[in-house]
Amino acid sequence: MSTRPLFITFPVDLGNTTYESNLVELFSDNIDFFRFAPEHVGKKNSLNKSILYRLKSMFKLRKEVRAVSKKGGKVIFHGISPALFSFGAWKSDNVLIIVDWTRELYPSVLGKERKKGIMFPIHKKILEHCPKIACWTEAVMENMITFYKIPPTQLYRLPAPFLLEKLSMIPRVTPKLPRVLFIGGDWLRKGGDIIQSSWESNLKTKCKLTILTTNTNISIDGVQILNNIRYGTPEHWEIFEQNDILILPTRIDSYPQVIGEAAAAGLAVVTTKFALGAKDVIIHGESGYIAESPEDSIRFLEELLDNPSKIDQFKNIGYTHMLAKFSKSEIRKKYFEIIDL
């Protein structure tokens, strides 16, 4: 009997925790899972604490990886960090690293110069020793090639593991006054301030606006602000059902899963090119808009609000696109082709 692959998850933040639960649900009948540094979950950690959590988990991680590797089993890492902390315990020919973000990704996307720090040669060595690196976005793949100098033959594209079955909602007819939703805890990075400044001058007569955020300091007249809704609860999914358009004027995001969730829940989506997974989720001009800047996303939103029939069109195309591209069977097939299962 062959050894089951071991998938090392790394729940370093809410996004990774959500993707982790989706991966477990998708593959639990074929793959074993190990949580690396689970103390991160639900906490805002300093750099020192983050390193401490990794060190505490390292010895158990290495033991698990070594046991699977000795039997010739495959090891799959979500992120470079668990591959680094178990380096030497795994065999290069049986390893896959899934990457949705690197330390150098945001500066390169934003056109900012950044000196290669102490971690760069270490991460580069880990990546060079891995024969298969799966990238969730074209941006991270390009970063691997141009910044880390990884040969394209080592790189593969995989879809982010949205689990549509838990949130798929047939698109609803748009009312006369469309309902717009913004979701984002990191208020400035996600572009919440741009929505706030546009509300009074441009948007308040064109739509109803709901803001879902963990930021408790936000107050905008005429806007429904929710900051006590837990992710993944029935109340959370109900908010999608009560809206027509998701607006995310983000300044930078490795792969904001909310855009995929919104499209699968029957919403039109307006975001920016700095939502690095947007091109996978949105067909520009058909199911939503991908703006060149956060400010341009507001102009696209206004255009959509002035044409309710287009909102319904975008909803239906986006919903169909997500079901076709991110279904459970489609994601499993693509992952298993690369993992060789």
Q: What is the CATH number of the domain that holds 192?
A: 3.40.50.2000
Q: Is residue 300 part of a domain?
A: yes
Q: Which pLDDT belongs to residue 341?
A: 63
Is residue 304 located within the same domain as residue 201?
yes
The domain tally of the chain equals 2
Handedness of CA 264, 338, 26, 126 (dihedral sign): negative
pLDDT digits (tens, 9 = 90+) for 126-178: 999 999 999 999 999 999 999 999 999 999 999 999 878 777 799 999 999 99
Indicate the pLDDT class of residue 188, thresholds 50, 70 and 90. Answer: very high
Is residue 272 located within the same domain as residue 332?
no
Q: Is residue 24 part of a domain?
A: yes
Is residue 31 located within the same domain as residue 129?
yes
Range of the domain at 209: 165-325
Give me 47's structure tokens. Answer: 């750099």
Is residue 130 located within the same domain as residue 269?
no
Is residue 119 located within the same domain as residue 240?
no
Is residue 149 located within the same domain as residue 209?
no
8 Å CB contact between 306 and 284: no
Q: Which residues pair with 272 in a beta bridge?
A: 291
Is residue 271 located within the same domain as residue 149?
no
**Residue among 98, 125, 70 nearest 8 (CA):** 98
Q: Is residue 221 part of a domain?
A: yes
Which CATH number do you get for residue 333? 3.40.50
Q: pTM (2 decimals)? A: 0.94
Q: Is residue 143 part of a domain?
A: yes
Q: Is residue 282 part of a domain?
A: yes
